[in-house]
Chains A and B, each alone.
Chain A
Amino acid sequence: MSVMVETLNLTKSFGPITAVDQLSFSVKRGEVLGFLGPNGAGKSTTMRIITAFMAPDSGTATVCGHDVLKNPMAVRQTLGYLPETAPAYGEMSVEGFLSFVGAIRGMDGAELTNAIDRVVELCRLSSVRGQSFETLSKGFKRRTCLAQALIHDPPVLILDEPTDGLDPNQKHEVRRLIADMASDKCIILSTHILEEVDAVCSRAIIIDNGKLISDCTPEELRSQSVRHGAVTVAFEGVEVSVAAPTLGALALAEKAKVTEVDGAPAVIVYPTGEKGLAAGITELAMDKGWKITELHVERGQLDEVFRTLTARGGE
């Protein structure tokens, strides 16, 4: 696997605000990198630097080996970019707009027509092909702008909140589209929807205040959750307040707390780290003659990890 996008000590300030702070990471072909962070973390700014729209104050980024400062044209040729606001020229039709972008990218004749047909199909735009951009719904606007980013079938895709403003069905479609393209491209997408990371990303990095605070797979990220491996269990024939201390005393349990599952009382048992907690609980319940009505092993919650990592004082 080859590195296709790389940033090195990227820094960019706006007046007193350091939007991106010494940020270094790299992304390989075949990877879908989820770029996470709270609003204002510096995700869009980083993407604008990678796409050679904005120059960094210091540090640099390379795309397919081309430096964004030394060779911005080559960088722009190799990537497709969906800006956060999904902009396009309002008075142009979807087809006219795609044809404009294709022509700028050096396509013409049959090549251009085929490229337009391909992305219209991919992004499900055939019903609005002739409609002017300003009259489209939010979801169609975003998909039109996504189509623009795909028109030259680029090896690198930079997508700034690609599913923002889409309804659940459209979100699903776009994620599927991204997943389908993932194998031979390098894709970076920013999001603050954590289920998206689960759905499409092979790796996730979290930035906050412009600084990198985590870089791992979604699975590793989740395992940082205190709930990772915890078991939620509900019983019949015993009060949860009675069961909880007994469960907490298990060798494999760190502690047990009373909780609720869909409004019904339950116990959550946190593990010490070793495996086998669920089996231990089942055994104990059989010994005591408690009937288990529900048992669920927590995978850990991304949003909990996200909040822990990016929590700021007072917020």
Chain B
Amino acid sequence: MQRILTIAGRELRGYFTTPLAYIFIAAFLMLSGFFTFKISMFFEAGQADLSEFFVWHPWLYLFLAPAISMRLWAEERRSGTIELLFTLPVGVGEAVIAKFLAGWALLGASLVLTFPMVITVSILGDPDMGQIATGYLGSLLMAGGYLAIGCCMSALTKNQVISFVLTAMVCFLFMLSDMPVILDFMEAGPRWFTDAVASVSFLANFDSIRRGVVEIKNLVFFLSVIIVWLYACTVILDARKSA
């Protein structure tokens, strides 16, 4: 546990010294503000809830989560520090969790900094705070899902750009897996398979959460996404850390 905190702390400080963290937070706040107010016409809609704010999150994470995750393992590989890290008494699983937590903390911090949204809706009307809290929780879990995919992709390469593009591609497929375009592809396959593919859609799983409806199965879905992809990341690193 102490080692996980040490590695996560180092990673998190790294985000702030290479000023990625500041740029990331600024980009997240600006983009989420822009989409909510300019595209969704938040004020004009006159609704005292944040569903028009959360609706953009899957799209923001599509490009912002890979920006956080791309360096996590690719950079260790490129600079050779992976050889240092895994000749210290550190388990692969521990390191994977630690790096994921560091990235997740940065995403979480960005979410927390959107608190003026909450203040705005409270001034505009009388929002359901429970709904808002659910939205934030769901968004954080979904961000974790994107990030876990990113960790895994980052472990495949020593090139951060490849890591970014791979992550964005895989995330995009998961986001939209219930869209007709994708399902049409699999028409030939058995019914249970198309259903399974549709059910892993990030958008579908996030849709009820963003409206403030807590469905355990959606939360469990995102948690499982995190666990499965981090496990895959561990397996990949175990097999190819020295490659």
- The CA of A88 and the CA of B83, in the complex, are separated in Å by 10
Interface window among A45-53, A123-131, A183-191:
A45-53
- The CA of A87 and the CA of B87, in the complex, are separated in Å by 12
Asked if B91 and A89 sit within 8 Å, CB to CB, the answer is no
Asked if B6 and A100 sit within 8 Å, CB to CB, the answer is yes
Whether A48 touches B89, Cβ cut-off 8 Å, given contacts A53-B83, A83-B80, A103-B6, is no
- Min Cβ gap A46→B in Å is 13
Those of A17-55 within 8 Å (CB) of chain B: 48, 51-54
**Interface 1/0 per residue, B81-96 and A, CB below 8 Å:** 1011011111100000
Asked if B88 and A53 sit within 8 Å, CB to CB, the answer is no
Q: Is A85 an interface residue (CB 8 A)?
A: yes
Whether A87 touches B84, Cβ cut-off 8 Å, given contacts A100-B10, A104-B7, A104-B90, is yes
Asked if B81 and A81 sit within 8 Å, CB to CB, the answer is no
Asked if B88 and A104 sit within 8 Å, CB to CB, the answer is yes
- The CA of A54 and the CA of B242, in the complex, are separated in Å by 6
Question: Which residues from chain B contact A91 at a C-beta distance below 8 Å?
Answer: 14, 17-18
Asked if B84 and A83 sit within 8 Å, CB to CB, the answer is yes
Asked if B242 and A90 sit within 8 Å, CB to CB, the answer is no
- The CA of A103 and the CA of B8, in the complex, are separated in Å by 12
**Interface 1/0 per residue, B15-30 and A, CB below 8 Å:** 0011000000000000
Asked if A83 and B10 sit within 8 Å, CB to CB, the answer is no
Those of B197-231 within 8 Å (CB) of chain A: none
Those of B40-88 within 8 Å (CB) of chain A: 79-81, 83-84, 86-88
Question: Which residues from chain A contact B88 at a C-beta distance below 8 Å?
Answer: 76, 101, 104-105
**Interface 1/0 per residue, B131-153 and A, CB below 8 Å:** 00000000000000000000000
Of the listed residues B14, B84, B91, the one surrounded by the most CB atoms of chain A closer than 10 A to its CB is B84
Asked if A76 and B10 sit within 8 Å, CB to CB, the answer is no
Q: Is A106 an interface residue (CB 8 A)?
A: yes
Question: Which residues from chain B contact A51 at a C-beta distance below 8 Å?
Answer: 87
Q: Is A148 an interface residue (CB 8 A)?
A: yes
- Min Cβ gap B133→A in Å is 35
Asked if B84 and A48 sit within 8 Å, CB to CB, the answer is no
Asked if B89 and A53 sit within 8 Å, CB to CB, the answer is no
- The CA of A299 and the CA of B80, in the complex, are separated in Å by 41
- The CA of A90 and the CA of B6, in the complex, are separated in Å by 17
**Interface 1/0 per residue, A89-119 and B, CB below 8 Å:** 1111000000011011110000000000000
Question: Which residues from chain B contact A246 at a C-beta distance below 8 Å?
Answer: none
CB nearest neighbor in B for A83: B83
Asked if B89 and A83 sit within 8 Å, CB to CB, the answer is no
Partner of B89 from A85, A89, A92, A104 at Cβ < 8 Å: A104
- The CA of A83 and the CA of B88, in the complex, are separated in Å by 12
Q: Is A214 an interface residue (CB 8 A)?
A: no
- The CA of A144 and the CA of B91, in the complex, are separated in Å by 24
- The CA of A53 and the CA of B242, in the complex, are separated in Å by 7
**Interface 1/0 per residue, B179-191 and A, CB below 8 Å:** 0000000000000
Of the listed residues B6, B87, B89, B242, the one surrounded by the most CB atoms of chain A closer than 10 A to its CB is B87
CB nearest neighbor in A for B17: A91
- Min Cβ gap A146→B in Å is 12
- Min Cβ gap B150→A in Å is 20
Asked if A87 and B89 sit within 8 Å, CB to CB, the answer is no
Q: Is A77 an interface residue (CB 8 A)?
A: yes
Partner of B80 from A87, A101, A104 at Cβ < 8 Å: A87
CB nearest neighbor in A for B16: A91
Question: Which residues from chain A contact B79 at a C-beta distance below 8 Å?
Answer: 87, 89-90
CB nearest neighbor in B for A85: B80
Q: Is A73 an interface residue (CB 8 A)?
A: yes
Question: Which residues from chain A contact B89 at a C-beta distance below 8 Å?
Answer: 73, 76-77, 104-106
Asked if B6 and A73 sit within 8 Å, CB to CB, the answer is no
CB nearest neighbor in A for B88: A104
Asked if B17 and A148 sit within 8 Å, CB to CB, the answer is no
Asked if B87 and A81 sit within 8 Å, CB to CB, the answer is yes
Q: Is B241 an interface residue (CB 8 A)?
A: yes
Question: Which residues from chain A contact B241 at a C-beta distance below 8 Å?
Answer: 53
Asked if B87 and A88 sit within 8 Å, CB to CB, the answer is no
Partner of B10 from A48, A89, A105, A145 at Cβ < 8 Å: A89
Query: Nearest 3 CB-CB pairs, A to B?
Result: A87-B80, A54-B242, A85-B80
29 A-B Cβ contacts within 8 A? A52-B87, A53-B87, A53-B241, A53-B242, A73-B89, A76-B87, A76-B89, A79-B87, A81-B87, A83-B83, A83-B84, A87-B81, A88-B84, A89-B10, A89-B79, A89-B81, A91-B14, A92-B14, A92-B17, A100-B10, A103-B2, A103-B6, A104-B6, A104-B7, A104-B88, A104-B89, A104-B90, A105-B88, A145-B84
Given contacts A53-B83, A106-B89, 15 further A-B contacts (CB under 8 A): A51-B87, A53-B86, A73-B89, A76-B87, A76-B90, A81-B84, A85-B83, A87-B83, A88-B81, A90-B79, A92-B10, A92-B17, A103-B6, A104-B89, A106-B2
| Residue positions of A touching B, CB distance < 8 A | 48, 51-54, 73, 76-77, 79, 81, 83, 85, 87-92, 100-101, 103-106, 145, 148
